[in-house]
């Protein structure tokens, strides 16, 4: 399994940056996780629009799904449009982004598979387990497994007992690390810190940790330091172009 990071910034894309977005490839299948703001141009550096086989969206905030619109346009507005793109997202999460264009314009470009967080899904070669995690919109954290290799992705979340289950023994955990040490009071319980991500990685026996959704202007070294206080394994910060092999070699 291969992971390509399309962006790592939380909330909005800072200069030259992109928000959440990950391309996961296994057995020739390409799954796009969370096409957030400004991730489409990054995605298209790696693959053509028709080469994406499915999309999974954790929740309906635009920093996790806004660039679904340009991806669908790039598929629909061509002379030979590819088959409808399967979209997996919590019920209703994509209603707004799919309504950006005039009614009907993109209808043939996608096929919705709305689900209830907690459902298990089969997406190409991936078995996906999902959990409802605490956030200001329903957020479906996901654990992807294929041929015994596990990639876990929290989406945006506050602390939750489900996180340990989601991340248990994962080869790679992509964890919300919006803040370094402390979540501001008005968002407490709905977002996570790098320090908490490090602790979670140890509790769950994760092999490799990727800090994600880091707020613009965050001191990245401080985030790494906070996470490493609780986790002795390899830690990276999600950033454009980071490539990670997710397999037994990461153990």
Q: Which residues are near Zn ion by CB under 5 A?
A: 61, 156
Comparing CB distances to Zn ion, the nearer of 149 and 212 is 212
Comparing CB distances to Zn ion, the nearer of 35 and 49 is 35
Comparing CB distances to Zn ion, the nearer of 67 and 156 is 156
Find where tokens 């387990």 sit: 129
The rounded distance, in Å, linking the Cα atoms of 86 and 67 is 15
Q: Provide the minimum distance between the beta carbon of 62 and Zn ion in the complex, in angstroms, as a whole number.
A: 9
Q: Provide the minimum distance between the beta carbon of 5 and Zn ion in the complex, in angstroms, as a whole number.
A: 18
Q: Provide the minimum distance between the beta carbon of 193 and Zn ion in the complex, in angstroms, as a whole number.
A: 15
The tokens describing 251, both together, are: 């153990």
Which residues touch 78 (CB under 8 Å, ≥6 apart)?
none
Comparing CB distances to Zn ion, the nearer of 156 and 171 is 156
Q: Provide the minimum distance between the beta carbon of 76 and Zn ion in the complex, in angstroms, as a whole number.
A: 27
């Amino acid at each position: 399994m291969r992971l390509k990071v399309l962006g790592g910034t939380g909330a909005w894309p800072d200069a030259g940056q992109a928000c959440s977005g990950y391309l996961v490839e296994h057995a020739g299948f390409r799954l796009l996780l969370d096409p957030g703001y400004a991730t489409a141009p990054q995605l298209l550096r790696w693959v053509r629009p028709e080469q994406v086989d499915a999309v999974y969206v954790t929740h309906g905030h635009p920093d996790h799904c806004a660039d679904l619109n340009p991806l669908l346009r790039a598929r629909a507005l061509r002379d030979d449009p590819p088959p409808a793109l399967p979209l997996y997202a919590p019920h209703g999460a994509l209603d707004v982004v799919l309504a950006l264009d005039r009614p009907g314009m993109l209808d043939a470009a996608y096929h919705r598979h709305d689900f209830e967080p907690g459902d298990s899904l089969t997406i190409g070669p991936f078995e996906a387990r999902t959990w409802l995690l605490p956030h200001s919109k329903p957020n479906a954290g996901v654990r992807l497994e294929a041929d015994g290799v596990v990639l876990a992705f929290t989406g945006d979340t506050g602390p939750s007992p489900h996180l340990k289950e989601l991340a248990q023994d994962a080869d790679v955990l992509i964890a919300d690390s919006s803040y370094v040490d402390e979540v501001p009071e008005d968002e407490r319980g709905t977002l996570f810190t790098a320090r908490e991500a490090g602790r979670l990685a140890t509790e769950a026996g994760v092999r490799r940790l990727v800090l994600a959704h880091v707020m613009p202007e965050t001191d990245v070294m401080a985030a790494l330091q906070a996470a490493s206080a609780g986790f002795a394994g390899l830690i990276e910060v999600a950033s454009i172009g980071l490539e990670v092999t997710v397999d037994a070699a990461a153990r």
